[in-house]
């Protein structure tokens, strides 16, 4: 009998995301495979956080040490760690405990049935992590470049709300239309702040008004 746990994570910066969809699909997969789901760990925290800043993930690792767990089921690679290095370290930590990882969106198993590393899957994992990391950096660079060109062309860069001003919500949204646009595209608050050079408080204010 295969004993498994489920780990689902969404970014705390996106209220539209929900761990339930990930968890439900992983439960369905476990049932189809005949696995016994021992526990479910759900976390709402930014993927940029270190392990020590992800209490649920840390708790899962600690409890796996004292339980007879064979697999950790996750929805996608980005759930495992904040970077290529951290993700691979987390995979190795689990492998050292003879615990494999099943990554649903690529249908990958990191350990074989005899608990040896699945060489092909690990090779693909490293490539996918590297590609995802490169794409993330390229997307951020393109967005920053586009924002700079927009400011240069239209001169709409805002320095924020003046002290004592009584601007209406509509005025604030118009002033920070660049922030609103990026929020609608689903970017994180941190990335929007970096791209627009506006404080996270401003981004949060616009998000609340929207």
pLDDT in tens, 136-182: 667 667 777 777 776 776 665 544 444 444 457 778 888 888 888 88
Residue 21 scores a pLDDT above 50: yes
The stretch 182-208 carries a mean pLDDT of 81
User: Do both 21 and 55 map to the same domain?
Assistant: yes
190 & 91 share domain: no
- What is the number of structural domains in the chain? 2
pLDDT tier for residue 195 given thresholds of 50, 70 and 90: confident
> Do residues 84 and 56 share a domain?
yes
Task: Say if residue 203 is in the same domain as residue 176.
Answer: yes
In this structure, are residues 70 and 2 in contact, taking their beta carbons and an 8 Å threshold? yes
**Which of 118, 148, 177 represents a domain boundary (last residue)?**
118
Q: Give the residue carrying structure tokens 């992983």.
A: 26
Same domain for 147 and 198, yes or no, is yes
- Give me the CATH number covering residue 23: 3.40.50.1390
* Assigned domain for 95 exists: yes
Give residue 158's domain range: 136-209
**pLDDT (0 to 100) of residue 209:** 83
Higher pLDDT, 194 or 39: 39
**56 and 110 assigned to the same domain:** yes
Q: Is residue 198 part of a domain?
A: yes
Q: Percent of the chain having pLDDT more than 70? A: 79
At 161 the pLDDT is 47
The whole-number pLDDT of residue 193 equals: 79
Q: Are residues 40 and 108 in the same domain?
A: yes
Looking at the fold, whether 140 and 114 belong to one and the same domain comes out as no
Let me know if residue 131 belongs to a domain.
no
In a domain, 108, yes or no: yes
The answer to whether position 127 is within a domain reads no
Q: pTM, whole model, 2 decimals?
A: 0.60
- Report pLDDT for 5: 96
- Band (pLDDT 50/70/90 cuts) for residue 186 is confident
What does the pLDDT look like over 36-66, one tens digit per residue? 999 999 887 655 555 566 788 889 999 998 8
Separation of alpha carbons 67 and 88, rounded Å: 22
Counting beta carbons within 10 angstroms of the beta carbon of residue 161, is it exposed (0 to 12), middle (13 to 18) or buried (19 or more)?
A: middle
Tell whether 68 and 170 lie within a shared domain.
no
Q: What is the mean pLDDT of the chain?
A: 80
What's phi and psi for 4, nearest 5 deg? Answer: -130, 155
Q: Are residues 193 and 151 in the same domain?
A: yes
Domain assignment of residue 86, yes or no = yes
What are the pLDDT digits (tens) for 91-132? 999 999 999 999 998 899 999 999 999 988 888 877 877 776
Residues 34 and 114 in one domain: yes
Structural domain ending residue among the three candidates 88, 118, 148 = 118
């Amino acid at each position: 009998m295969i004993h498994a746990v489920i780990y689902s994570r969404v970014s705390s910066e996106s209220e539209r995301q929900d761990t339930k969809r990930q968890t439900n699909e992983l439960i369905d997969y476990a049932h189809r495979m005949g696995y016994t789901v021992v526990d479910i760990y759900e976390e709402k925290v930014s993927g940029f956080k270190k392990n020590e800043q992800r209490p649920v993930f840390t708790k899962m690792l600690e409890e796996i040490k004292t339980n007879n767990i064979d697999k950790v089921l996750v929805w996608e690679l980005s759930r495992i760690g904040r970077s290529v290095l951290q993700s691979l370290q987390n995979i190795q930590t689990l492998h050292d405990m003879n615990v494999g990882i099943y990554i649903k969106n690529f249908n990958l198993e990191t350990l074989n049935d005899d608990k040896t590393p699945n060489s092909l899957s690990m090779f693909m994992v490293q490539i996918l992590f590297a590609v995802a990391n490169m794409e993330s950096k390229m997307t951020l660079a393109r967005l920053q470049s586009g924002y700079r060109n927009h400011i240069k062309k239209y001169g709409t860069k805002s320095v924020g709300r003046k002290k004592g001003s009584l601007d209406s919500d509509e005025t604030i949204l118009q002033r920070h239309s660049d922030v609103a646009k990026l929020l609608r595209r689903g970017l994180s608050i941190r990335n929007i702040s970096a791209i627009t050079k506006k404080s996270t408080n401003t981004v949060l204010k616009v998000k609340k008004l929207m």
